Structure 1
């Protein structure tokens, strides 16, 4: 089983440096900050696509949401663990090079690490929680139960490839293109569906198996289960609100030139 962990430790750093090498050759005028940012986005998209595919396989294979098991659960959790650790490093590397472009730093330092942690606090905590909480729970504490729900949590990665694709389009100067707008709509839909509506779906699936209506499921679950779901759901709602605000700003920014063009000319 630990073979999956070793594979993940080799695959994700290898992909990162491979992407950076190819991008440096394909876009020789790009700065190191651009190369690192796009490479990190591509690796994130690969991991998220694999997680989503694994989640779909697990969820569709488990008929009993509590007792059915699937070999992919433990293996993918171990395979994805090195990605979480490496992605924190890759995000820091991207932050470091972007700070150098802005003239705010030249060397790696405690101040650089501190500014990175302050800027990306939620993402770093999210990755750390997956490593320090989610992985031990999956491998050691759940006693082989609930593979269906682990599969559901893997489905939360569905929106990530589209988020990464949006960043890449911006890097390519296509942030005002129709493709970027369509991708933005897909990001909102997939994020809301697989990171917010996912939780009512899990409660519904559990209630359907036990013959309990959705509104009564929470009362039949231990308090720590409800609190755990709430802790996971809260940042998803926060990030979705941020996405909505960003979409609103982009919409208003695009409407402004059109509104100016539509104004009647006066002498």
Structure 2
């Protein structure tokens, strides 16, 4: 949880720095939009492995006897965490080459926006820690739950309309025209990114409804 929180804080600060320094959302450059990727790549790889270890230990606690790193345990992990693993692999296999090579020298602003999506992660991590400490009935846990809802909605859902609005303002067109003006692969990438966020936000809302 500590590693996730530190990485999320670094990503958010990097993203905000890039966004604030890129007045032209298409052509302005900032070195963090390129260099921070090399922090994100090893973190995502590490996070997949840590998720696997957590899955293996939880399975063992439930009485499921599977050898660590065995094919059966890996298959079980991939089945249970397929959405999160797919999300991480999409970032590693698709977004990393795009941000480092295929986009050329365009769109640092939007890369910075994507970095800020990590803002909710420290609160998610704190929530899990509080649950492990049996503090889910405390005021702190409830306040943290509200912060998760707000930050997740702002930085993982509204983030995408914000990026489209920023581009619309830059080129002087209505926001509804943006999907027809930008390359198709940009729309596909954004749709691929927001789809799991909508699913996770739905789960967060359901949990919040039970909590409050």
Tell me, yes or no, whether TM beats 0.5: yes
The corresponding residue for 1:215 is 176
The corresponding residue for 1:44 is 4
Runs of 4+ in 1 over 2 A off after TM superposition: none
What are the ranges of 5 or more consecutive residues in structure 1 without an aligned counterpart? 1-40, 252-267
The corresponding residue for 1:229 is 190
The corresponding residue for 2:113 is 152
For residue 71 of structure 1, the aligned residue among 28, 31, 42 is: 31
- Does the Cα contact within 8 Å between 1:105 and 1:112 map onto a contact in 2? no
The corresponding residue for 1:162 is 123
- Does residue 111 of the first structure (1) align with residue 72 of the second (2)? yes
Q: CA deviation at 1:250?
A: 2.7
For residues 185 and 108 of structure 2, the distance between their equivalents in structure 1, rounded to whole angstroms, comes to 18
For residues 110 and 138 of structure 2, the distance between their equivalents in structure 1, rounded to whole angstroms, comes to 38
For residues 79 and 148 of structure 2, the distance between their equivalents in structure 1, rounded to whole angstroms, comes to 25
Spell out, residue by residue over 1:172-224, the C-alpha distance to the aligned partner (whole angstroms, 9 max, x if none).
11111000000001100100110010111001100101111212222212222
Spell out, residue by residue over 1:133-167, the C-alpha distance to the aligned partner (whole angstroms, 9 max, x if none).
11111111111110000000001111111001100
- Does residue 242 of the first structure (1) align with residue 203 of the second (2)? yes
- Count of residue pairs the alignment pairs up: 211
- Does the Cα contact within 8 Å between 1:96 and 1:105 map onto a contact in 2? no
- Does the Cα contact within 8 Å between 2:127 and 2:145 map onto a contact in 1? yes
Using structure 1 for the length normalisation, give the TM-score: 0.77
Q: CA deviation at 1:225?
A: 1.6
Alignment of 1:29-108 (within 5 A): 41-108=1-68
For residues 198 and 48 of structure 2, the distance between their equivalents in structure 1, rounded to whole angstroms, comes to 22
Larger Rg: 1
Q: CA deviation at 1:236?
A: 0.8
- Does the Cα contact within 8 Å between 2:66 and 2:72 map onto a contact in 1? no
Using structure 2 for the length normalisation, give the TM-score: 0.96
Q: CA deviation at 1:106?
A: 4.7
What are the ranges of 5 or more consecutive residues in structure 2 without an aligned counterpart? none
- Does residue 191 of the first structure (1) align with residue 152 of the second (2)? yes
Which structure would you say has the larger RCO, counting Cα contacts within 8 Å and 6 or more residues apart? 2
- Does residue 200 of the first structure (1) align with residue 161 of the second (2)? yes
Calculate the aligned-residue CA RMSD, in Å. Answer: 1.0
Q: CA deviation at 1:116?
A: 0.9
